[in-house]
Chains A and B, each alone.
Chain A
C-alpha cells in the first residue's frame, strides 16, 4: 500500500466524477485456466452481487475449485497454472498492477475443500490472521477469536480447550475452525469450497445457518455437491460442466425451471 499523498494541505479538488458502477460487485470475465497443457476452465463469465450467496454446483472435476481459487489468486501457487481473463471486485481487476496480493487475500477469504488447520492451538489458528496483520493486543484478539468461533458454530465445543492443538479436533470441527480462521480477518468476500463435505447433519445445519446469516456482511461463493444445500442457502446458482459455465440464474429458477438439459439432468440426479 502506498503512503497517503500529502495533498490534504492543498485546496480540496472536486472528487473525480466516478461513473456509476455498471457491473456486478464481483465479476468474472472470460476466465480460462490451464494446468500445463490441460485446460480446466473455458471462458467462464458471471457476476454476483454484494450480500448474496452464489452456489457453484457441478460434477467432480468440472473446475469449481479451480474457479474459486482464481478469485483470491491462490491458484497462482499451483505450478503450471495459467490464468487468462479477468476477475473484478467493485470494478477493479484483482490482477491489476496496483493490487496488493496481501490485502486482496485478506479481503477475499477462503475455506478450502480439505480442512487444513495449522499444527497450532485452536486459539492460535484463529488468531493467526490477526497477528500477521499486526493486531497484537490481547483483548482485541481474544474478542475476535471468540466472535469467529461463535460464528462458525464451534465455540461451545472448544471454549474450554482453546489452548489444545487444533489437530486433536475431529474433521468436521477442523473445518469449522478453518471457517473461523477465515472469518477472523474480516473479509468482504468469502469463498467456501465444499465447507460441509466432512460434517455431520447437525454441523452442516449450523454451517448453513451461518452462511445465511453471514450474507448480511459478506458476499459468498460456496461450492457444494449437495443440491438441497444449494437450494437452501443460495440466492443464485451456477452450474459448471467440464470447465464451462452452463447455467447461472436465481436459485429457484435453476431448480424449478432449468433452461439447459444438462442442468435438469444434473439436479435431478440423472447424470454427473
Chain B
C-alpha cells in the first residue's frame, strides 16, 4: 500500500517504522534491474553446486551414522542376549524356575520341604541361578507407572500454567529453570532422595498411620518420587510447547463467544494440543522406564514382586547397573543381563513408535 510520507501526519511515531539504518537516510536506491537480472540468471556455478552436494552429503552421513549406531546397539544387545537363551534349557527359565517349596510343620516346629513349585525369583548368583525376569519387570513397571501417575497431572498442570497463565516474563524465568532441572545429573537427585528425603518420608508415613504397610525406607514410592522430579519438568516443558503451538486465533474465537480462560484452555486449547500432550506423557513414561541411578539408589534394590508400593523393588535398569560389574564375563548371569537390556530397548522403541504414530495421526486430523 502506498504510505507516502506526505500523507502521514508529521511528528508521529508511525514514522519510526520506515526509518532506515543510520547512515542510509536520504539514500535513494539506484540500480539497473537488467544488470541485477543478468547476475541472478546465470547457470548454477560449479562451486555452488559442489557446496550443495557437500552439505547434502554431510547431512546424509550424519543421519546414516546415527542410524548405524542405533542399529549396532540393537544388534549387539540381541546377539549377546540370544546367547543367554542358548545357555538355558528353555526360555521359560526367564519366566519362572522350579524351587523347593517349604511348609511349616507344627510337629517338629520347623519348615520342611514338601515338593517343588514354580517360583518367580531373580537370584542369579545362587548355586542354581534363578533367572525369572518377572520381578525386575514388575519393579520397572511399578516405578514407571507410579512415577507417571505422580507426574502426568503435575506436568500437564505446569505446562498449562506456563503456556496459558504465566506472563511472558514469568515464563521466561520458569521455563529455563525447568530445563535446568531436567539437566541435573540423576545421581544427584538420587543422592538427595536417599540422604535427605527418604527418612522424613518414612516418618510422615508413620505419623499418618501407615507404619504397618511402610515396608522399607527405600522403596518403590521413594524411587517414583525421585523419578518424578526428573519427568515432571520433561512433561511440563513438552506440554507447554504443545499448547503454545495451538494458534492464538482459536483462543480468540473461544474468548470471542464469551468463554472464560479456563473454558478456553479446557475445551479448545487442550483438545487441539492433545497429540503433543499425549506424546509428552509417553515420553515421560519412557524416561521413567529407563531411569537408572535414582531407582538404584532409592527404590531399595530388592528383586521381589510386591503389591505394596512401600516395599523395595529392583528395576531392570538397576539390575543391569548393579550386577553387570560382578557378573562373570560370558556367564549365564551376564548374558541374561544383556537380554534384559535387549528387552528394555525394545520396549522403549515400541513406546516411541506408538507415540510417533499416535501423534502423527492426531496432527493430521487437526492440521496443527
List the interface of chain A (C-beta within 8 A of B).
37-39, 42, 59-61, 72, 74, 77, 79, 102-106, 109-110, 112, 114, 116-120, 128-129, 132-133, 165, 167, 178, 181-182, 184-185, 241-244, 262, 271-272
Q: Inside 8 A of B259's CB, which chain A residues have their CB? A: 102, 128-129, 132
Contact of A105 among B16, B251, B258, B367 (CB under 8 A): B258
Can you offer 18 A-B residue contacts whose CB atoms are under 8 A? A38-B17, A39-B12, A39-B14, A59-B2, A77-B248, A79-B168, A102-B258, A105-B255, A109-B257, A119-B272, A119-B368, A129-B258, A129-B259, A165-B365, A185-B257, A242-B8, A271-B2, A272-B1
* Pairwise interchain contact A242-B256, C-beta atoms closer than 8 A: no
A106 to B263, CA, bound (A): 14
* Pairwise interchain contact A116-B249, C-beta atoms closer than 8 A: yes
* Pairwise interchain contact A181-B253, C-beta atoms closer than 8 A: yes
Instruction: Give chain B nearest CB distance to A74 CB in angstroms.
Output: 5
A129 to B268, CA, bound (A): 12
A42 to B259, CA, bound (A): 30
Interface on chain B toward A: helix, strand, loop, or mixed SS? helix
A262 to B6, CA, bound (A): 13
CB closest chain-B residue, reference A178 = B253
Contact of B367 among A114, A167, A185, A271 (CB under 8 A): A167
Q: Inside 8 A of B253's CB, which chain A residues have their CB? A: 112, 116-118, 178, 181
* Pairwise interchain contact A120-B8, C-beta atoms closer than 8 A: no
* Pairwise interchain contact A74-B255, C-beta atoms closer than 8 A: yes
Known: A39-B13, A242-B3, A242-B14. A132 touches B258 (CB 8 A): yes
Instruction: Give chain B nearest CB distance to A107 CB in angstroms.
Output: 8
Q: Let me know if B366 is at the binding interface, CB within 8 A.
A: yes
A244 to B9, CA, bound (A): 10
Instruction: Give chain B nearest CB distance to A172 CB in angstroms.
Output: 17
* Pairwise interchain contact B365-A243, C-beta atoms closer than 8 A: no
CB closest chain-B residue, reference A100 = B258
Residue picked from A109, A112, A118, most chain B C-beta under 10 Å: A118
Q: Inside 8 A of B256's CB, which chain A residues have their CB? A: 72, 74, 105, 109-110, 112, 182
* Pairwise interchain contact A182-B257, C-beta atoms closer than 8 A: yes
Q: Inside 8 A of A128's CB, which chain B residues have their CB? A: 254, 257, 259, 267
CB closest chain-A residue, reference B257 = A129
Instruction: Give chain B nearest CB distance to A225 CB in angstroms.
Output: 11
Q: Inside 8 A of A59's CB, which chain B residues have their CB? A: 1-2
What per-residue 1/0 map shows which CB atoms of B333-368 lie under 8 Å from chain A?
000000000000000000000000000000001111
Interface residue range, chain B: 35 or more
Q: Top 7 A-B pairs ranked by shortest CB distance?
A: A106-B258, A129-B257, A119-B366, A116-B249, A105-B258, A132-B259, A59-B1
Known: A37-B13, A242-B8. A132 touches B267 (CB 8 A): yes
List the interface of chain B (C-beta within 8 A of A).
1-3, 7-9, 12-14, 16-17, 168, 247-260, 263, 267-268, 271-272, 365-368
Q: Inside 8 A of A167's CB, which chain B residues have their CB? A: 365-367
Known: A72-B256, A128-B254. A38 touches B14 (CB 8 A): yes
Residue picked from A79, A103, A242, A262, most chain B C-beta under 10 Å: A242
* Pairwise interchain contact B249-A133, C-beta atoms closer than 8 A: no
Contact of A38 among B13, B168, B255, B367 (CB under 8 A): B13
CB closest chain-A residue, reference B252 = A74
Instruction: Give chain B nearest CB distance to A140 CB in angstroms.
Output: 16
A38 to B256, CA, bound (A): 25
* Pairwise interchain contact B1-A132, C-beta atoms closer than 8 A: no
CB closest chain-A residue, reference B249 = A116
Residue picked from A105, A132, A165, most chain B C-beta under 10 Å: A132
Q: Inside 8 A of B268's CB, which chain A residues have their CB? A: 118
Known: A59-B1, A74-B252, A128-B267. A185 touches B258 (CB 8 A): yes
* Pairwise interchain contact B257-A181, C-beta atoms closer than 8 A: yes
* Pairwise interchain contact A116-B250, C-beta atoms closer than 8 A: yes
A241 to B7, CA, bound (A): 9
A104 to B258, CA, bound (A): 7
A110 to B365, CA, bound (A): 26
* Pairwise interchain contact B258-A243, C-beta atoms closer than 8 A: no
Q: Inside 8 A of B2's CB, which chain A residues have their CB? A: 59, 271-272
Instruction: Give chain B nearest CB distance to A94 CB in angstroms.
Output: 13
Q: A109-B257, A167-B367 are in contact. List 7 more A-B contacts (CB 8 A).
A: A102-B259, A116-B252, A117-B253, A118-B268, A128-B267, A133-B258, A272-B1
Q: Inside 8 A of A244's CB, which chain B residues have their CB? A: 9
Contact of B249 among A72, A114, A129, A242 (CB under 8 A): A114
CB closest chain-B residue, reference A69 = B252
* Pairwise interchain contact A118-B16, C-beta atoms closer than 8 A: no
* Pairwise interchain contact A112-B14, C-beta atoms closer than 8 A: no
A119 to B246, CA, bound (A): 11
Q: Inside 8 A of A79's CB, which chain B residues have their CB? A: 168
